[in-house]
Amino acid sequence: MELYNRITKLKYIPALLAGFVIALPSNVMSKLFHSKSKLFLVGENGGVGFQDNGKFIFEELLKRNTGKTYWMTFALNCNTDLKNQCRIGTVRGYYLYFRSAAVFYTHSLSTDIAPLANHIVFFNPLHIEISHGVEGFKKKIQTNLVTNYPADLYTCSNSFEMQIKHDYWKIPNDKLSITGVARYDGLPIQKASHFTPRRILYMPTWREWDYQESSADFKLTNTFKQINNLCTDSNLSNLLQQYNMHLVLRLHPFFQKYSECFDSTKFAKNISVTDDDVSALIRDSDILITDYSSVSWDFLYSLKPVLFFQFDRDEYLNVRGSYLQIPEDLFGPSTTDWRKIPEILQNQILKFDSSRLIKQRDKYFDYSDRKNSARIVEACTDLLDEE
């Protein structure tokens, strides 16, 4: 994506300067008369999509009628029914940025709201980083993003994540707030009395050491071989047919360029590959198989079983690392051998225990009341009131 390329981002400089200059008179008047802006911007995932934490914050702001709220995006045509959209990187987008009271984003200010705006030190709105997943399984790749793109508030899904962001990311506690995950407000909660699994979602995470120049090279990796072994396993297929279930493989976006390697026509029966919307898959699937993906937290919060297939556990922990103690802290059964998955799955189906999952959810999440978006907006409001 071009927004992650420093050179190509230079093309936004003229629009950035123009937006700043146009907003300048209004900002000066606001300072002189101590009037506060009631304008908010929200964006997510590099300006693509309307389904993650940003969506729920945007809808919460609209519901509260706190002021004018705009959705920042590169995909205007994808959300034709969405009001108050603005294209990222335009003069209007920068004008709105410099006139805003606060902006909310999941990845970074530069990718989700206003490229290069962090280089202007005057008339900046509050920056609220609402993240895009729960931290825990993957240690953060060492970058200086927190230093270069400092937020005024970082939301945390739970106490454990707050400790990670303070101890490892070196973010001061006064910039951290335990709010919960905004998109979890829309997750359906599994009822034990109605647990009849029909779809299993398999979502392996990406590994930076698996980037290859060609699909032929990727097919030689252990990652491809392990995923393919599972998807062509006849024993797993027999189990799925026995219980009238279907397993779908959903590749991480960073692995999409190798999607041609996974030929679903060669998969076992009742197993296929999909590129469907992840949010819909999370909502509509009953069981998750993953390795280290943060999607597992979504399933735990929804009280749905998770099976951890960590075929490269030793290598992963050595190269990338985890904030959790693995496998001790996992909230579901785990294995490094794909051959054991049918047996483990059968135990999940026949011995589903929602009370166990409730205990594990309460261990990791401070809130399960579907008021996460409200807490995030209120935390922002509290900061604005302090100014």
Least Cα distance to 102 among 79, 129, 75 occurs for 129
Residues 6+ apart with CB under 8 A from 343: none
The CATH label, of 3.20.20.70, 3.30.70.150, 3.40.50.11820, 3.40.1550.10, for the domain at 2-180+369-386 is 3.40.50.11820
Per-residue pLDDT of the chain (387 residues; tens, 9 = 90+): 445 556 677 899 999 999 999 999 999 998 888 888 899 999 998 888 888 899 999 999 999 987 899 999 987 665 556 779 999 999 999 999 999 999 999 989 999 999 999 899 899 999 999 988 899 998 877 654 444 458 999 999 999 999 999 999 999 999 999 999 999 999 988 877 678 899 999 999 989 898 887 999 999 999 999 999 999 999 999 999 999 999 999 998 888 889 999 988 999 999 999 988 888 999 999 999 999 999 999 999 999 999 999 999 999 999 999 999 999 999 999 999 999 999 999 988 878 888 889 999 999 999 989 999 999 999 999 999 987
CATH architecture of 192-364: 3-Layer(aba) Sandwich (3.40)
Domain ranges across the chain:
2-180+369-386, 192-364
